[in-house]
């Protein structure tokens, strides 16, 4: 259920957090940005599923944190009276949330962490299992929340070493603070560059069809005082050719063991243009976004979404023929040979990525 719109400065808000009372998950409803900043307070499994699927909360790290906090809140309301039934209900709700978006690995990663601590605690055969279960689940959820903040800060510190004074930077979709709890991944180096007094100019791809670049990244960067210019997705090669771009920073929803990276649709096109103009292309993501069990990008399941996102979602009236076929993949895979470096909390990984990725695991 919505809380009334708030007048606090946007920069003081965490994208995802536990309520002060500890009985609900609070998120910024990203479907309303940039026109309205509204906080949603969520307690029910269906509204939590919808929040992920409808992109009220989005961005791989933020989804992971949200999932962890959601499982704790749902467990508060788990009324099963014996240990085994409690665990069965927990697993049902975990699988339900996990089905909301298949591509972002952080969702399943966080849910598995929550399940793991629960099953470990369940090995202790004592009474009062509910209190113990809730205690370990809350502790783990808060740990995932706090780790995200620290991880993104480290990504920013490592990524800012790749930026020089006067650089022009392109970013795609939103891998900013709205995609995490606080700092962002791809935008974290930009925020730190500003703090260091570096003069940078950022070009935001609008990111069709859901306009995360136009609605979210342009909003948060400009709110933070960073020189920001919005461009259509098909303008990136043009600004590169003019010599206005020195680096590309994007996020990722899943990175395979060989360095192939799934990110918002259009990312691979941006990487291809960057390769043509000899511009370094960096993927910024926490280690939790890297999936060693996925050998390469061909094994990454790509979510396909509602055709209406393409034909009518952002228009006053439908802007395509009524019966036209629509292909609407949410992500594409950027091949590892187009990526100059993967910026993680452990440093900047360089090719060959298979060995570099093994090194941080």
Paired strand residues for 146: none
Query: Which residue in the list 253, 260, 291, 332 is annotated as catalytic?
Result: 253
- How far apart are the C-alpha atoms of 12 and 245, rounded to whole Å? 30
Q: Which of 154, 167, 213, 180 is nearest to 344 (CA)?
A: 154
> Looking at the chain, how many residues does it have?
361
Q: Which of 40, 41, 58 is nearest to 107 (CA)?
A: 58
Contacts 24+ apart (CB under 8 A), 91-99: 91/115, 93/45, 96/45, 96/49, 97/45, 97/48, 97/49, 97/52, 97/67, 97/70, 97/71, 98/67, 99/49
Annotated catalytic residue 253: yes
- How far apart are the C-alpha atoms of 29 and 178, rounded to whole Å? 10
* One-character DSSP codes across 92-156: HHHHHHHTS-SS-HHHHHHHHHHHHHHHHHHTS--S-HHHHHHHHHHHHHHHHHHHHHHHHHHHH
- The runs of H, that is alpha helices, within the chain are 45-53, 60-76, 83-98, 105-122, 129-159, 188-195, 212, 218-223, 236-241, 267-276, 308-311, 353-360
The DSSP call for residue 2 is B
Q: Which distant-in-sequence residues (6+ apart) come within 8 Å of 355 by Cβ?
A: none
Other residues' Cβ atoms within 10 Å of the Cβ of residue 280: 15
Paired strand residues for 28: 39
- Catalytic sites, residue numbers: 253
């Amino acid at each position: 259920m919505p809380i009334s719109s708030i007048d606090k400065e946007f920069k003081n808000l965490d994208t995802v957090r536990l309520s002060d009372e500890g009985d609900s998950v609070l998120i910024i409803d990203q479907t309303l940005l940039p026109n309205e900043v509204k906080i949603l307070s969520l307690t029910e499994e269906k509204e939590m599923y919808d929040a992920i699927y409808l992109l009220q909360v989005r961005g791989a790290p933020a989804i992971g944190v949200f999932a962890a906090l959601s499982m704790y809140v749902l467990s508060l309301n788990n009324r099963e009276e014996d240990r085994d039934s409690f665990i069965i209900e927990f697993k049902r709700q975990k699988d339900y949330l996990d089905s909301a978006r298949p591509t972002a690995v952080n969702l399943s990663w966080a849910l598995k962490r929550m399940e793991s601590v629960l099953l470990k605690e369940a090995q202790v055969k004592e009474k009062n299992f509910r209190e113990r279960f809730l205690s370990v689940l809350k502790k783990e959820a808060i740990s995932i929340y706090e780790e995200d903040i620290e991880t993104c800060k480290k990504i920013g510190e490592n990524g800012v070493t790749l930026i020089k004074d006067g650089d022009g930077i392109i970013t795609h979709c939103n891998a900013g603070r709205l995609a995490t709890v606080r700092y962002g991944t791809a935008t974290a180096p930009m925020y730190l560059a500003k703090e260091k007094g570096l003069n940078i100019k950022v070009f935001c791809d609008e990111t069709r069809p859901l306009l995360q670049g136009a609605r979210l990244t342009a909003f948060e960067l400009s709110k933070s005082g960073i020189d920001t210019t919005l461009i259509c997705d098909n303008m990136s090669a043009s600004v590169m050719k003019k010599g206005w771009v020195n680096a590309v920073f994007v996020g990722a929803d899943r990175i395979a063991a060989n360095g192939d990276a799934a990110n918002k649709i259009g990312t691979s096109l941006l990487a291809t243009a960057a390769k043509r103009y000899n511009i370094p292309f960096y993927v910024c993501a926490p280690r939790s976004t890297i999936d060693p069990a996925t050998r390469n990008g061909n094994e990454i399941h790509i979510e396909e979404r509602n055709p209406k996102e393409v034909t009518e979602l952002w228009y006053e009236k439908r802007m395509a023929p009524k019966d036209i076929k629509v292909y609407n993949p949410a992500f594409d895979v950027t091949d590892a040979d187009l990526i100059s470096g993967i910026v993680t909390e452990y440093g900047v990984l360089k090719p060959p990525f298979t060995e570099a990725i093994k090194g941080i695991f």
